[in-house]
Amino acid sequence: MRTERLLIPILFHPTNVLILDDQPEVLSSISQMIDINTPYVTETNPNQALSYLRSHTYRRNALSELLVQRGFDVNESEVAESFQLTLPRLLTFLKSFEHYKKVGVALIDRQMASRDGLELCQEIQEDGLLVAHGLFTAQTTSEEVVDAFNRGDIDFYLPKKGLTPEKLNACISEASWKFFITLSEVLTGLIAHELKPLYDEQHFKIFKKVCQQHNTVEFCLWDSSGSFLLLKAEGQAQQFFVRNEADFTDCYEIAKNNEAPYEVLQALRGRQQFPYTKNALGYLKLQGDQWDDAMISMEKVPGREWCYAVVDRPDIEAFSFKRYFHEVWPKP
C-alpha cells in the first residue's frame, strides 16, 4: 500500500549518539549498554553539549544544497531556468568520513543540577537543530514529559528504571531512522510523485530485508526509479537496482531499434530481465548481441509495477564506517 508517509530515507548512515548526564557514573553505565558498533559522545555539561550539537548536526537543507543544481533549458523561443537533481553527487559525500561525525540522536537527562533537560530539548527545537532528541526520565514518566512528546518538543523518552541494552539500542535505532526520514522529507516532498517505491509498504519490507541480508549499514538513493547504493561496514558497495513499468517500456523500444536478440526482447516484455550498466542509461549504446551480456534477472515486487535486483559494485569506493570507527572515532 502506498502511503503519504516517506518510509525509506534517501540517505542513511551511522552517526554519533550524544549522551548528556551530569553524573559521570550514569554516563558510564549507559555507554556500556550501547551497541559496540555505535559511536557515541558523552557530556556532563549541558551548555557544552548544546555547543557540540550546533557544530555537529545537519542543516535541514543539507541534502538540497548537495543534490540540487540550477540550470537553464534552452530552446528556439526562450530560455527557461530549471533545477536538476544530481543523485550520484552523494557518492563524493560518502568518500569522506565527515558525515559519520554528525550527531543523529541525543539522549538528555531530565534532571540535572545546572539545567532542566526538558528546557534544553525545547532550546534544541527552537534553534532548529536537526537531531532526534529525547529524555532520560526518573522512575515514573511525568505528565509534563508526555505532553512535551505530544507537542513535538522531544522525539522520545526513556525511563531509567528497568532500562536494558535491548531497550536502549532499539530506541537509538528507531530514532536514527526517523532522523534520516526527517532530513529526507525536506527534499522528497517536491518529487514524491517520482519516488513511489519509497512510500510503498511492500517495497519497504523488501528493501529492509535486502539490507539485513547484505549487512548494509548505509545507503543513498541512486536514481529516480528508486535504486539505492548500499554500503557494508567494510566499504563494499552494492546496488539495489530498481526499474519500473515506464523503464521497461522505453528500454524495449530502444532494444528493438538497436537490433537486440529476440530472447532479450521477450525478457523485457515479460519483465524478467533488464540491461544493467554502470551508467544508468548505458544500454542506449548497446547493439545487437551486446544486449545479451548486459541482461540481469529481475524480481517482481508483488502487486507493484516495478522490479528489483541486487548487483555488486566493486568499482565504487567509499570511506568505510569500519575504518572511521577504528581510525577516527572518537575524535570530534
**Residue 169 scores a pLDDT above 70:** yes
Which of 131-145, 179-193, 306-320 shows the lowest mean pLDDT across its residues? 131-145
pLDDT confidence band for 64 (50 / 70 / 90) = confident
Cα 64 to chain centroid distance, Å, stands at 14
pLDDT tens-place string over residues 77-131: 565 555 566 776 777 788 899 999 999 999 999 989 999 999 999 999 999 999 9
Q: What pTM does this model have? A: 0.91
pLDDT tens-place string over residues 3-33: 679 999 999 999 999 999 999 999 999 999 9
Domain 13-189+322-327 sits in CATH 1.10.150.120: no
**DSSP one-letter string for 23-57:** -HHHHHHHHHHS-TT--EEEES-HHHHHHHHHHSS
Distances (CA, A) of 193 to 3, 83, 199: 12, 16, 10
Task: Output the pLDDT for position 332.
Answer: 65
pLDDT confidence band for 291 (50 / 70 / 90) = very high
Distance CA 199, CA 6 (A): 5
Task: Output the pLDDT for position 152.
Answer: 87
pLDDT confidence band for 142 (50 / 70 / 90) = confident
Average pLDDT, the chain: 90
Task: Output the pLDDT for position 8.
Answer: 97
Task: Output the pLDDT for position 139.
Answer: 53
Query: Grid coordinates in use for 328?
Result: 577516527
CB 270 within 8 A of CB 299: no
Distance CA 224, CA 227 (A): 7
Centre a 10 Å sphere on the Cβ of residue 260 and count the other Cβ atoms it contains: 26
**Residue 138 scores a pLDDT above 90:** no
Which of 67-76, 286-295, 303-312, 320-329 shows the lowest mean pLDDT across its residues? 67-76
More confident call, 226 vs 68: 226
Find the mean pLDDT for residues 306-328.
Answer: 95
Percent over 90 (pLDDT), the chain: 72
More confident call, 124 vs 194: 124
Q: Of 158, 134, 316, give the one whose Cα is nearest residue 237.
A: 316
Domain range list for the chain? 13-189+322-327, 241-312
CB 240 within 8 A of CB 227: yes
Find the mean pLDDT for residues 271-289.
Answer: 91
Distance CA 280, CA 276 (A): 8
Q: Of 64, 76, 41, 55, give the one whose Cα is nearest residue 188.
A: 64
CB 14 within 8 A of CB 321: yes
